[in-house]
Amino acid sequence: MRRRTLAVFAALGLVLTVGVLAQTQQQKGGGDVTGPYDLVAGWPQNWCGQGHVIGSTAGIWAESPDRVFIFARGCLPALEDPGDLVPTRNASGYDLSQRDAARHPRWDHIVNVVDRNGRLIESWEQHNQLFVRPHRVLVNPYDPQRHIWLVDDGVHAIYKFTRDGKQLVQTIGTPKMPGNDETHFARPTDVAFLPDGTFFVSDGYTNTRVVKFDRNGKYVTSWGMKGTPPNETRPGYMNTVHAIVADKQRRLYVSDRANHRIQIFDENGKFLEAWPNVPLPYSLLMTDDQFLWSASGLTQKFTKYDLNGRLLSSWGTFGILPGGFWGVHQFHVDTEGNLYAADVHVGRPQKFRPKAGVDAARLIGKPTVQTSATN
């Protein structure tokens, strides 16, 4: 009996020793390129076919792990010289007014839906000619019908489609007619929703305002003027209104991108406060547990803030290497905690999976819980 017990302890000691050695070996080296996530290699599959690659990706939204929307700017010729990687793949400036075959990407595969393996399951080719410069794709989390909202700053309009893409049910703004009034935008960028259906548009690159609409899309009010510190530091003066999100208290967080700050307003446009020194906030995400994450177009990092504006953590690596970032234009998290990033400058969507055993506080939390689709 004693001999058997000693054998058991010896075996247990061997297992523990091997475990410690394995853990020690895992901790050596590495560069923490992808922070608390592992890159999912080969995601998505290249839907552009032989000789072409996915162009600049402006928008990404995970309705579920098996239904991820990617709003892209066409397909680009495949690379021949790796040294040309950056200029060849940077399609952020292309639009339909320049139909030069040598300079313009193939204008197809604009609205795409992929599954968890990156396999293309839908492509809304019938709507390609509606778009000029795709900017954001969103779903109102409080909408049981799960309509798809597509923001196109080049066409100065926002399209609302049925979930399957078969019907365009509403257009906000006047396509291809820029303006600054109740029915026109000038390069809008994003949309934020409230539970009662009220929504807000950040408008945007040319205009510098936030526009409020009721649940039916009727104009309510707007606020904001163009201004750049140090010459103009008053609240509501902004330069490139590039993103907008709302918290559960109905407060609005607005990316004053070129001024490197976030401004906070109530739902009627009353200024509440500003967070300075937020480096070039390209995209914002409000999580269900009420933290604000920003994707920086300057540092190329994801940064986490509490709702008092305190910086809690950051991670990310600049570069065209897999898992690196150069211009995360939109990002989202699915119900399993996977992170999706649309890289507008390199021109690629990427998927990341949380590392095993990672501190959950380092992960980007899930967005507001979404209602189930009715179809």
User: Token digits for 242?
Assistant: 């590039």
The pLDDT score that the predictor gives to residue 31 is 83
The pLDDT score that the predictor gives to residue 77 is 82
Q: In three state form, how does the secondary structure of 169-214 look? A: EEEECCCCCCCCCCCCCCCEEEEEECCCCCEEEEECCCCCEEEEEC
Of 93, 97, 83, 159, nearest to 126 (Cα)? 159
Cα separation of 131 and 1, whole Å? 78
Taking CA atoms, 4 is separated from 11, 43, 369, in Å, by: 11, 51, 54
User: Token digits for 207?
Assistant: 């205009």
The pLDDT score that the predictor gives to residue 23 is 43
User: Token digits for 58?
Assistant: 């402006």
Q: Which residues pair with 264 in a beta bridge?
A: 253, 273
- The answer as to CATH 3.40.640.10 being correct for domain 35-362 is no
Low-confidence stretches of the chain (pLDDT beneath 70): 1-27, 79-105, 231-232, 369-375
CA dihedral 147, 152, 157, 158 (to 10 degrees): 10
Q: Residue ranges per domain, the chain?
A: 35-362
Contact status, residue 313 vs residue 325, Cβ threshold 8 Å: no
Cα separation of 341 and 61, whole Å? 9
The pLDDT score that the predictor gives to residue 372 is 52
Q: Which residues pair with 369 in a beta bridge?
A: none
The residue behind tokens 């906070």 is 264
Cα separation of 369 and 249, whole Å? 16
Of 238, 254, 283, 300, nearest to 135 (Cα)? 283
pLDDT (tens digit, 9 = 90+) per residue, 213-245?
A: 999 999 999 999 999 877 667 789 999 999 999
Cα separation of 241 and 257, whole Å? 6
Length of the chain, please?
A: 375
pLDDT (tens digit, 9 = 90+) per residue, 44-98?
A: 999 998 888 898 899 999 999 999 999 999 998 876 554 544 444 444 444 444 4
Cα separation of 136 and 284, whole Å? 12
pTM of the model: 0.88
